[in-house]
């Protein structure tokens, strides 16, 4: 009996030793596996961009050197969108916030200002371009109380060369403030924007000069018109923002401007009432064409976006 107990004890000890050995081996394998997993570095930089079109350019510039988050969902109006608690938290925790400026982000102004006051670093795209101002005769009747003559135009993304200036400025700030060297990406992106500008100019060259007249949803096409030689004849909403209201007096003046200038198309946009655009089109005998000026296409590319703008305008006016 004693011998049997001794044998059982010996067997138990042997099995225990095996269990200990297996446990040790499993621990070693687990540690090895974990060490091979990609870790989230505490030094990884987080950049928040206010809207999708600007975000597309920032993502191309930054690549995998930082995490880029866009606040305003693509397809929603940056003039009126308001951030959620989660969006506000992301902005307040960002290493850098990239904004458009010039009042574009109307619904975000309070959040952005609070973050700026608390010490969050900002890059304002409009600080790095030559800002255009709304001129007399740009679709807003002289003497109208709602006129914005002389107001700075925030729609800078409608000019590829303005975006090139933004890229150059942002590359420097990323290096100075976040120690991110994106010089090679910046050089490549600037060259591509130069080529895009040439491509757009070549596309709209098919439109006779006398037909390069734009009537749009609101004052969104100023930089495009300035760059490519178009005349801004009128707008449905006489404002730099889609949040303004349409008045009977403005619509009457717009119809007269369309007829006097023999405009070939009315371009309706995000924030423009399709019903109002249709009424103007019916009363003037001018076709209404949808123009996507505030949202990226399905591939998320600024380059595809600008090619589409040029193509839609050219097909409608040539």
Q: What is the pLDDT of residues 63-100, one digit of tens each?
A: 999 999 999 999 998 988 999 999 999 999 999 999 99
Closest CA to 300 of 122, 50, 46, 51: 51
Instruction: Report yes or no: 205 and 211 within 8 Å, Cβ to Cβ.
Output: no
- In angstroms, the CA 171 to CA 184 distance is 10
Q: What is the pLDDT of residue 136?
A: 74
Confidence category of residue 140, pLDDT binned at 50, 70, 90: low
- HEC secondary structure over the chain: CHHHHHHHHHHHHHHHHHHHHHHHHHHHHHHHHHHHCCCCCCCCCEEEECCHHHHHHHHHHHCCCCEEEECCCCCCCCCCCCCCHHHHHHHHHCCEEEECCCCCCHHHHHHHHHHHHCCCCEEEHHHHCCCCECCCCCCCCCCCCCCCCCCECCCHHHCHHHHHHHHHHHHHHHHHHHCCCCHHHHHHHHHHHHHHHHHHHHHHCCCCHHHCEEEECCCCCHHHHHHHCCEEEEECCCCCCCCCCCCHHHHHHHHHHHHHCCCCEEEECCCCCHHHHHHHHHHHCCEEEECCCCCCCCCCCHHHHHHHHHHHHHHHHC
Confidence category of residue 241, pLDDT binned at 50, 70, 90: low
Q: What is the pLDDT of residue 33?
A: 43
Q: What is the pLDDT of residue 111?
A: 97
- In angstroms, the CA 50 to CA 13 distance is 66
Residue 270, both tokens = 């995000």
Q: What percent of the chain stands above pLDDT 90?
A: 70
Q: What is the pLDDT of residue 17?
A: 46
- In angstroms, the CA 222 to CA 253 distance is 19
Residue position matching structure tokens 């807003």: 140
How far from 275 is each of 20, 184, 271, 272, 312, CA to CA, in Å? 77, 48, 12, 9, 21
Highest mean pLDDT among 132-136, 167-171, 219-223: 167-171
Residue 9 has pLDDT above 90, yes or no: no
- In angstroms, the CA 244 to CA 119 distance is 32
Residue 34 has pLDDT above 60, yes or no: no
Instruction: Report yes or no: 105 and 51 within 8 Å, Cβ to Cβ.
Output: yes
Residue 255 has pLDDT above 50, yes or no: yes
Q: Whole-number mean pLDDT of the chain?
A: 86
Q: What is the pLDDT of residue 1?
A: 43
Residue 146 has pLDDT above 60, yes or no: no
Closest CA to 304 of 57, 98, 61: 57
What mean pLDDT do residues 44-73 have? 97
Segment among 193-202, 239-248, 282-291 with least mean pLDDT:
239-248
Residue 292 has pLDDT above 50, yes or no: yes
Residue 209 has pLDDT above 90, yes or no: yes
Query: Whole-prediction pTM value?
Result: 0.83
Residue 177 has pLDDT above 90, yes or no: yes
Set out the domains of the chain in order of their start, with CATH numbers: 46-193 (3.40.50.1980), 204-317 (3.40.50.1980)
Segment among 108-112, 135-139, 160-164 with least mean pLDDT:
135-139
Residue 181, both tokens = 């060297």
Confidence category of residue 274, pLDDT binned at 50, 70, 90: confident
Residue 131 has pLDDT above 60, yes or no: yes
User: Would you tell me how many other CB atoms lie within 10 Å of the CB of residue 58?
Assistant: 22
Q: What is the pLDDT of residue 40?
A: 40
Confidence category of residue 102, pLDDT binned at 50, 70, 90: very high
What mean pLDDT do residues 145-151 have? 67
- In angstroms, the CA 122 to CA 112 distance is 9
- HEC secondary structure over 274-291: HHHHHHHHHHHCCEEEEC
Better-scored residue on pLDDT, 314 or 138: 314
């Amino acid at each position: 009996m004693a011998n049997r107990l001794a044998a059982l004890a010996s067997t138990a000890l042997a099995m225990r030793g095996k269990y200990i050995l297996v446990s040790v081996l499993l621990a070693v394998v687990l540690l090895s596996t974990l060490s091979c997993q990609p870790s989230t570095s505490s030094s990884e930089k987080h950049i928040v961009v206010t809207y999708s079109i600007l975000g597309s350019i920032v993502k191309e510039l930054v690549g995998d050197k930082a995490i880029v988050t866009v606040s305003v969902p693509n397809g929603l109006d940056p003039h009126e969108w308001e951030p959620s608690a989660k969006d506000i938290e992301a902005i307040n925790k960002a290493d850098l916030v990239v904004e458009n400026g010039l009042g574009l982000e109307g619904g975000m102004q309070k959040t952005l200002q609070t973050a700026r006051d608390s010490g969050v670093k900002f890059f304002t795209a409009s600080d790095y371009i030559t800002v255009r101002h709304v001129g007399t005769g740009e679709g807003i009747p002289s003497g109208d109380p709602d006129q914005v003559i002389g107001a700075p135009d925030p729609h800078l993304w409608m000019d590829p060369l303005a975006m090139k200036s933004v890229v150059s400025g942002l590359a420097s700030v990323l290096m100075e403030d976040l120690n991110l060297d994106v010089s090679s990406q910046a050089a490549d992106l600037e060259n591509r924007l130069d080529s895009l500008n040439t491509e757009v100019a070549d596309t709209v060259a098919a439109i006779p000069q006398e037909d390069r007249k734009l009537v749009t949803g609101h004052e969104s096409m100023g930089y495009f018109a300035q760059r490519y030689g178009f005349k801004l004849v009128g707008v449905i909403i006489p404002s730099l923002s889609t949040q303004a209201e349409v008045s009977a007096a403005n619509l009457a003046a717009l119809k007269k401007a369309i007829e006097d200038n023999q405009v070939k198309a009315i371009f309706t946009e995000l924030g423009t009432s399709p019903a109002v655009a249709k009424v103007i089109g019916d009363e003037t005998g001018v076709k209404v064409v949808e123009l996507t000026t505030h949202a990226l296409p399905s591939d998320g590319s600024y380059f595809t976006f600008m090619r589409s703008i040029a193509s839609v305008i050219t097909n409608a006016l040539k």
